[in-house]
Chain A
């Protein structure tokens, strides 16, 4: 199980990447900060960056309205 934003419990999948996790969450906003267990993941590495079972993932949407 993966914890997203200290709240949502998401079942882990074999070979899961950051990009796949964002797809599962339907997080379509393009301007994100993703950190796994406290370490920031580079934006251009989401497609390959692995997510491990039990990871604590923070996904911060950098958006604050008009």
Chain B
């Protein structure tokens, strides 16, 4: 244990309970403003209606805030929970943490699903969830120590601020002996989160092979910004050693059987399918470019010849191989790769050799191709600094790409950007901007607001054309788009904008089903997909699961099933696991029903906070079609053909402007029709409001929920 100054400001003693069928049956409340720390019981109603994970988060947050609460108010909380299946070791991808807060960029609830060891360790330390409320007067560290049976709020004045230093420092401080380090998990952000709304939370895992810490990110919607605004420097859990029985499942044999089958399936098929164990998610960069789905130059284009310079083979050559790169114990999919010994070329840590976690596909596309950057080293450096400074790589990439397009359009110039030449492809400028956000320079703070607030700023201060910036600003509800081109997939346009938290692909990713496979050609088909898949994927976040083992490696026997796109035998695995862990026997249909409660509850939560209606589900036009002449002309053959086949028009008799206007009108009309179909399928009004009948059917017609909805019926 490293000797440092630790001033304990508040403490709470407790006895670590035995986990019963995936639940500790209590949650932890910590107010860093007034020092209150207490345990709260988990009721049977909570378990039955909200399951755990994001469900518990939302339930606790709902009762903590007011209708008027915004991200910086003391009553806003950061709530973290795994779920009843979080922490099992038998099945791949079962150690997720779900993070929920009111977002600084969207002003509604955001939720993130992240790896790392924190969620399972929190449960092993005796808590199904933790609520962090209040604003501290000085920087504090919250420590949940299962060994000492103590929760403390402490000052640690010697602690560094950036994640790659802070996580390692805290682990050394709290570990009594070297082997303890594996059982410590940290949640941290970084100095950029103090100056930007795009703050990320880094969840650590101690990598015994590397003898160092690594980090996975809860990234979307700015939870790191809320964390640092609360003056929380770190949240740490110190757990006990665990094994496959620690989650105390109801039927260990059934759990082991399902897990063993899946582990064999991964071992057999991953090497000939997506090869996640070697390449992780960035193998998609080249493939997405092949299908015209890779964002290039702020989502103008769907591909680029240079994309294959940073494709799967490239990243495989950069990632350190033959290490167990799972982000939770027992995950054989092991997609969480890293580049070891990367020497930084810029910034305050220039010359240091560091571990770069990733890049994931979204990062490579976000800070890379979408900004016209196809240089692997630059992508790695931006990735590292985003993580350690505490910035979301997706939102950062989308924001820089937006600024680059504004710069090239003449809205910005060097005078306005502190001398940065923010043109597509300028990796040095992107890195320098990142350092300035961390330092809090005036333009750094402006850029750090993210696309939604930047649009208003550019219109107000620089006279930017409002329609142009709204058309090209890739955000919805205040959240930046993740990295897929949706122009030719109506279903994915809805998959992005008909979401609860904003356009993140973790609700519904339907591009291939729709655009390539043509499996959902009608509005009814698309609406059904936009009902089923968001609910199915919500369930992972209720239980503590990762999505990847569901469909990134699949026994080919699946091809012969009735609904191969749903991977029925994997769905059955999840039915078996949940039943085996909790002792509550469920069916495939129950999965959807469990999620539907939470999904609708979150929709009502958004309405309560002032969004969540039809007007908030409208995407920027670039998500639907070509905004600029350059975009249209780059795919003119396709767009002209569509005018002929879809609209019966003769493009040879039309001006370019007329052709673009016809596309815009048609594409918006189709999107409006999709909204109608989806809302109807979800049991919502035409304004996107869950009906009383739907709330009653789901058993969430609590008086305060009905009160919110009634105002809009």
Contacts and interface: CB of A to CB of B under 8 A. Distances in A.
Q: Which of A27, A63, A66 has the most CB of B within 10 A?
A: A66
A60 interface: yes
Interface in B514-566: 516-519, 521, 533, 547-548, 550-551, 554, 556, 558-560, 564-565
| Dominant secondary structure at the B interface | helix
Given A6-B518, A31-B273, A65 B509 contact: yes
B286 A66 contact: no
B517 A60 contact: yes
A33 B519 CA distance: 13
Contact of B287 (A6, A29, A60): A29
Given A26-B290, A28-B286, A66 B518 contact: no
Given A29-B287, A40-B559, A61 B517 contact: yes
B516 A61 contact: yes
Contact of B565 (A7, A43, A62, A66): A62
B702 to A, nearest CB: 33
Nearest to B506: A66
Contacts of B516: 5, 27, 59, 61
Contacts of B510: 64
A66 B521 contact: no
Nearest to A28: B290
A30 interface: yes
A42 B564 CA distance: 15
Interface in A18-52: 26-31, 33, 35, 40, 42-43
Contacts of B286: 28
B505 interface: yes
A65 B560 contact: no
B145 interface: no
Contacts of B564: 33, 60, 62
Nearest to B286: A28
B360 interface: yes
Given A28-B287, A65-B484, A60 B519 contact: yes
B366 to A, nearest CB: 12
A29 to B, nearest CB: 5
Contact of A5 (B509, B517, B548, B554): B517
Contact of B556 (A5, A7, A28, A43): A43
Interface in B279-302: 281, 286-287, 290-291
B57 interface: no
B598 to A, nearest CB: 20
Contacts of A42: 556
Contacts of A28: 286-287, 290-291
B287 A31 contact: no
A60 B556 CA distance: 12
Contact of A64 (B272, B360, B512): B512
Contact of B361 (A26, A33, A58, A66): A66
Contacts of A65: 484, 505-506, 509, 511
B551 A33 contact: no
Contact of A40 (B512, B517, B519, B560): B560
A58 to B, nearest CB: 8
Interface residues of B, number: 36
A58 B512 CA distance: 13
Interface residues of A, number: 23
A45 to B, nearest CB: 12
B18 interface: no
A6 B517 CA distance: 9
Contact of B551 (A58, A59, A64): A64
B346 interface: no
Contact of A7 (B272, B484, B518, B533): B518
Interface in B12-64: none
B362 interface: yes
A10 B468 CA distance: 38
Nearest to A25: B516
Interface string B336-352: 00000000000000000
Contact of B518 (A5, A29, A43): A5
Contact of A59 (B511, B517, B521, B548): B517
Given A61-B517, A64-B512, A65-B505, A30 B274 contact: yes
A58 B291 CA distance: 17
A20 to B, nearest CB: 17
Nearest to A35: B559
Interface string B353-366: 00000001110000
A58 B290 CA distance: 19
B565 to A, nearest CB: 7
Nearest to A59: B517
Nearest to B548: A66
A15 to B, nearest CB: 24
Contacts of A5: 516-518
B274 A31 contact: yes
Nearest to A32: B559
A6 B556 CA distance: 23
Contacts of A7: 518
Contacts of A6: 518, 521
Nearest to B567: A62
A40 B559 CA distance: 7
A35 B556 CA distance: 13
A29 B284 CA distance: 9
Contacts of A63: 512, 551
A60 B565 contact: yes
Given A5-B516, A40-B560, A64-B512, A30 B273 contact: yes
Contacts of B362: 66
Contact of A33 (B484, B511, B559): B559
A29 B291 CA distance: 9
Given A59-B516, A62-B564, A66-B361, 18 more contacts: A26-B290, A29-B290, A29-B291, A29-B512, A30-B273, A31-B273, A42-B556, A59-B517, A60-B517, A60-B559, A62-B551, A62-B565, A63-B551, A64-B510, A65-B511, A66-B362, A66-B505, A66-B509
8 contacts: A5-B518, A31-B273, A33-B559, A40-B559, A60-B519, A61-B517, A64-B513, A64-B565
The 4 closest A-B pairs by CB, nearest first: A65-B509, A33-B559, A5-B518, A61-B512
Interface of A: 5-7, 26-31, 33, 35, 40, 42-43, 58-66
